[in-house]
Structure 1
Amino acid sequence: MNFPVTRMRRLRRTEAMRSLVRETHLTPGALIYPLFICPGEGVRKEISSMPGVFNLSIDEAVKEAEASAALGIGGLLLFGLPAEKDEQATGAWADDGIVQTALRAFKKNRTLDSLVMMADVCLCEYTSHGHCGVVVRDGDHYDIQNDSSVKLLAKTASSLAKAGADIVAPSDMMDGRVAAMREALDAAGLEMTPVLSYASKFASAFYGPFREAADSAPQFGDRRSYQMDGANLREAMREIELDLAEGADMVLMKPAMPYLDVISEARQRFDVPMGAYQVSGEYSMLCAAFAKGWLEPQRAMMESLLGIRRAGADFIVTYFAKDAAKVLG
């Protein structure tokens, strides 16, 4: 039936009516808050390109975690800034690594039991060259070694899980790393630790501010030989399918807003828990518009998150997690 019998505005008249028929919902429990952990005590250093986001010493990170738990946020995604770096990314898999130490501190704090502790598994924050794997150089030529990198990544995943990570989340985009991590976890008696794979991580300009936050910019070259070409949707589906076949329990899309079609396509194809990462560049450009008065902060923030959720993400990694949770109540 057409107008005037059908009037679509009937169901939009009041906020109560709109809420009743709303198709897509956000909750604080579907938000994951990233934290950048650094050495020291009492450290709370704001990241210049990411207003309101900080490098935090463990004691300060505990305070952020407590605030997140009080807001009903679903979990934390932990990144580490080691005191020292080397070509073998020793700080990533050392028992006394910065994230491992933070995880132990978090797990001792019973007020944080409601938070799922996710640990990013990558080498870029820990290597002296800033790449996500082992590098072999021959003059001006360099190569990121896949298989030797996978061995270190599997070692890192096992170390983080032993320290208390509820979920390990490989973000490196090396081939075969999920299978290697699953094998290492199972061999260590950690067969109940899930793997959240960054299954389709694109080589993106939107990671720029993160590289300041995590001090992880490559010292030479770029990451296009291992992160995905942004033009390729079908390849992204193959990556997801392969990671699931290797034992991934969940998958994560990254970035989110420029790749909503990837999230939507993956949601149609794969019946597994699926997240999306609203990355640093997405956050920073919105904050820049807020500072200029060009966008209404609360509405734009919530609309950006709702769009990611509507595309098919079950949960969202976002630097807006605390602010959004306060709005959602």
Structure 2
Amino acid sequence: MESSSKFLEICGSRMNYKGEREKAKEKEREREREPNDYKSVALAIAKDQIPLQNGFFYFEVEIINKEDDGIIGVGLCRNPDLKEITKNSYLMPGQDKNSWGYHDDGYLFISKNGRPYGPPYATNDTIGCYLNFEERIMFYTYNGANIGIACNLSKASEDLEGKWYPYVGLRSQGGSIEVNFGTGDRKFKYSAMNNDDIGEELYGVNCLDFFCDNNLDNQLNNELDLMYRAKAYLIMKLYKEALEDLTKVLEKEQNNLLALTYRGKAYFIIGKYKESLEDLTKVLNNESENTIALRYRAEIYQIMKKYYESSNDLKKLLKIRPYDEWAIKARDLVDKT
């Protein structure tokens, strides 16, 4: 991340709001004079633009310290004008043109217009932002649980043209946040993006080892070999390639429940919710306690605003896994909707 704000100190993935003075006594006097530097917003934009060729993008921001009277916004911007952003240093993400921002008070702002969206957030919370270029949707996550669609991008081509960047803002004396782009060994709070529920093995074989040991230029006709490679693609987050192999398997064996489960998840990740719902429902009609299918179908129902159906799947999942952290958080959000 990078910023031209004099109030922001960036150390790797962490950003600290320094304010005009660093000494505690001076900081308190500043708060008494003008609480929390409300005229001084520190904005940061990712150094690299979002790669459109992947079809979707996700990142998270952990709130290390919000401070009692602080304000934080997490979102995206398109074709940012750094000079203009610096000039309008009182605007948070979503409050200027071509930007989107979910603020800590629960409001969503889109190019200056705001409305209630999700729960308020504070210190120790983690906010995620998902943007899908192909399906033209954006949603946020709250401590690993999907809040629901934030907006549908216009079908006008200009909405997706240009350069998109992750975008965060702080107006918080002593505030601190940490950004996670999922690089290296860092995992997301939103477990759907980690593929932990898939695992690396299939029938006792490490799929990544299989992937590396085989010549991928050769066509694989054996369903089992295709399953190994498809799972390796899933682990590496190559979802379109995984979908191709899984579809080949299902063309030969329509009721392969494992292939349907994996394809349902892959469709879910890339935002094809109708296709995912169809596959996962087929699985659950045959394996009513399939926890992967229950988990993703529950979230799809929530996204589709079918809260009764989502609640039913979450109850079934919690009956099987009563301490499932994601299911508990998702149930709480659905119940409050």
Q: TM-score w.r.t. structure 2 length?
A: 0.27
Bigger relative CO (Cα 8 Å, ≥ 6 apart): 1
- Hey, which of these two has a bigger chunk of helix by percent? 1
Q: TM-score w.r.t. structure 1 length?
A: 0.28
